Structure 1
Amino acid sequence: MDSNTASPYSPKWQFRFNFFEQHGAPNSPTFKAAYKTLPFGQKIKVNFNFFALFFSWIYLLILGMWRKALTILGITLVLMVVVAFLPDVVGRAIGVAWSVLIALTTNYSYYLEKVKGDTSWNPFAGMRW
């Protein structure tokens, strides 16, 4: 993204988009090397989305990523059924882990959708695994 032109995105999103544009996907070696050099606050800004942590698929819908939102919603419903048969503490741990996973993938998914035009159903594209 060119920082000299007016952007419809907030400075926070511009920072994230520029970082992804310069260093690639979170699973690339250049991203990992550049990410290690960032201060803690900027690491959080690039890699974690607090709205996605708490609002999951609803936040993805708000961002306009309806395909990914439906994928997350479907997986969430399956997880809810599975968790219903597990002990409460295990269910809570799975729920927290699932929310954190969504928070960790949202920023790069939004970059792919808005900058690269990738409208896939996969909310985990380009992640570390």
Structure 2
Amino acid sequence: METPNTGPHSPKWQYRFDFFARHGAPKTKEYRQALKELPFAGKFKVNINLFALFFSWIYLFILGMWRKGLVVFGLYVALIVVSFFVPDLLVRALAAALGLSVAMSTNYSYYAERVQGKVSWNPFEGLF
């Protein structure tokens, strides 16, 4: 299989792009099987983006994925509105789930946009 045209990206992004090119999206069986075979540091590098975990929509804007950033921002605004009507514990759980989902989907979304040319509004592309 050919190595994707990744351009001027860091070695960390090159590693992620190569993994996605060989094994597909996170929702595929091949991806999950290949991820199991990686050491812990490799799993973490491919599967989670810490900047996206802590800065979510801001980091998506920095990466140039403004469409996805707007959707995530809208989800956080909706969560703030919901927070007035539901228990605080539920809001915290939903915010944590949203943050983790963004962190787990950002790497593949960036790959899909930069390498495959797929521009979309779905911030969870490849995850579900």
- Shared fold (TM-score greater than 0.5)? yes
Over the matched positions of the two proteins, sequence identity in percent amounts to 54
Tell me the C-alpha RMSD between the 2 structures.
1.7
Structure 2 residue runs of 5 or longer lacking an equivalent are: none
Partners of 1:101 and 1:126 lie apart in 2 by 11
Q: For the Cα contact (< 8 Å) 2:6–2:114, is it kept in 1?
A: no
Partners of 2:27 and 2:92 lie apart in 1 by 28
Measured against aligned partners, the alpha-carbon deviations of 1:48-75 in whole angstroms (never above 9, x if no partner) come to 0000011110000000001111111111
How far is 1:30 from its partner? 1.1
Q: For the Cα contact (< 8 Å) 1:84–1:91, is it kept in 2?
A: no
Opposite residue 42 of structure 1, the aligned amino acid is G
- Give the match for residue 61 of structure 2: 61
Structure 1 residue runs of 5 or longer lacking an equivalent are: none
- Give the match for residue 22 of structure 2: 22
Secondary structure in structure 2 of the residue aligned to 1:126: coil
Q: For the Cα contact (< 8 Å) 2:3–2:21, is it kept in 1?
A: no
Measured against aligned partners, the alpha-carbon deviations of 1:67-111 in whole angstroms (never above 9, x if no partner) come to 111111111111111122222222112111111111011000000
Partners of 2:43 and 2:84 lie apart in 1 by 35
Partners of 1:78 and 1:85 lie apart in 2 by 12
Give the TM-score normalised by structure 2. 0.92
How far is 1:7 from its partner? 3.7
